[in-house]
Amino acid sequence: MTIVITAFERSPDGGKGLARDTRVRWALEEVGQPYEVRLVSFRAMKEPAHLALHPFGQIPTYEEGDLVLFETGAIIFHLAERHPGLFPGDADARARAISWMFAALNSVEPPILDLSIAKFVEGDQAWSQARLPLVMDRIRHRLRSLSARLEGSEWLDGAFSAGDLMMVSVLLRLRASGLLDEFPTLATYVARGEARPAYKRAFAAQLAVNAPGSD
């Protein structure tokens, strides 16, 4: 059955791989599932046809026959359950990998998103600059704990899992801020994720769509 995901017709990041279709592409590459991509414009994302797939009018979505999913957590969970490669065989280790997926999405990604909002949405407000150090410190707080846990290990819990895929994807959004470089253990961890052949294929696929001049 053909898997179809949606992605930005033109990602605002110009091909840096930060739009969330990249993490779904990465998961598909890790489990060796071919997929097709339907590109959507910002306008089309808010129209009924896309809203039927994604109630919040966002990307990515995932279609596999009659199954339609949204939310990258749910999509990657689904792929990890159905195909070998992203969840460990041992039931307890699998449960821990799921904990890390939730940790990435619920504990680490929110303060990182706050920084994007502070810079790109609230950046022109008079109070924005004053708030920035607080936002950055909330991220550092999480990174400190994560770095301490990861110290001396390649991945979060034994072998690479969907937990690492999600955590690396979330941390990648920090690169431009310089915050990642304050935590060498995390910078190396992210680089280890980016070095995976599956990540490289996913990155290249989104770049082919989004690189400047790739019309």
Least Å distance, CB 58 to ligand GSH, is: 3
Site for ligand GSH in 28-57 (CB under 6 A): 45, 57
Distance of CA 110 to the CA centre of its chain: 12
Q: How far apart, in whole angstroms, are the C-alpha atoms of residue 210 and residue 215?
A: 8
Residue closer to ligand GSH by CB (options 72, 206) is 72
CB of 134 to ligand GSH, least distance (A): 23
Give least dist CB 136 to ligand GSH, A. Answer: 21
Per-residue CA distances from 109 to 31, 55, 90, 187 (Å): 24, 21, 27, 16
User: CB of 172 within 8 A of CB of 187?
Assistant: no
For residue 200, the Cα-to-chain-centroid distance in whole angstroms is 14
If one asks whether residue 58 binds ligand GSH (CB under 6 A), the answer comes out as yes
* By CB under 6 A, residue 210 contacts ligand GSH: no
Told to check if 72 binds ligand GSH by CB under 6 A, we report: yes
Question: Residues 5, 16, 17, 20: which binds ligand GSH (CB under 6 A)?
Answer: 20
- Contact predicate 198/29, CB 8 Å: yes
HEC string for 113-139: HHHHHHHHHCCCCCCHHHHHHHHHHHH
Q: Does 182 bind ligand GSH (CB under 6 A)?
A: no
Comparison of 113 and 134: residue with beta carbon closer to ligand GSH:
113
Q: What residues make contact with ligand GSH under the rule CB under 6 A?
A: 19-20, 45, 57-59, 71-72
